[in-house]
Chains A and B, each alone.
Chain A
């Protein structure tokens, strides 16, 4: 046995190499990196070589409006999501497990429900004759139906709905990691609850808010389905514009240039997020 052990020793010491990752690497290189790079090349070669596609995108007001809409919606969605998610995550972090698991169940159900199903529900709920307008009119709060759909209000409501779980779940982790003793110490030293919140709880949860917020912001920037269905044609966002340039206008040069801008912004924010929370913490999020 001892001879066997010595004999096996080198095998034990040998770490796993890169070998196992080769199938994944091949898949990603061939069917992700190559197509994306090829697409981006089209932005500087079609219809003729040069940067004219970018000049058009940055030069014309129509496109500036799309970029503005996109950043505006992403910013508002991120802010609203963070403000709504924080108290919920706070409660979830300290709630009795029996009660908490009900709320978690609802969050997971909403998150796992088909995206189109959820968006369809909001299309029906928010329309002129929809339940929300009816209810508001019945209780006399408004006399005319509010325009809740085919505008940025509709997009924002639908997006906040979709993004909430992505903010709540990581924040629960952050809040659970805070030692309750720090807050007890603050109370003992005479801090009011408001002071304790402002000077201890909020700063300590800031990394979680920043990480979740960046994720929501990045996801919102490139979102296609919900803005397309709830925003209508006059309030286009970037992802929808890219799809339209390719699918309906067959303008590959302009479409891929717009795609490159979206990719660049997304990747820059992703890199920032990695630096902020570290690759491991972020990928442990699921």
Chain B
């Protein structure tokens, strides 16, 4: 799926025709902008919707079932080193905002309501073959190709 404008333009419809994208959602979108009072610039921000993958340093798979929505950084304005203290300063008030949703659709719906351009990163499908201990000792008809040094 490609970066889509929340309010579709002719250009993006063209892209969609060839696309594996979810079709334009049929549901009514109440634009949050009407009542939220959020600054207008916020509508020009792009967000990414994704399922975080497991940290490879750990075996726990917590938080990988949820869909996360967070903001792309502001080019130029996201971070700089504060000349006085050396801390990282930011002009981006959304840099620490990270939303979590139960499903992709919820996240997309939310982004549409807010009028954010979003990119949905498809979930990674895990392909782990059945494993078993006996595989270590199974007879191989050809020449043995591994020396187990465990």
Asked if chains A and B come from one complex, the reply is no
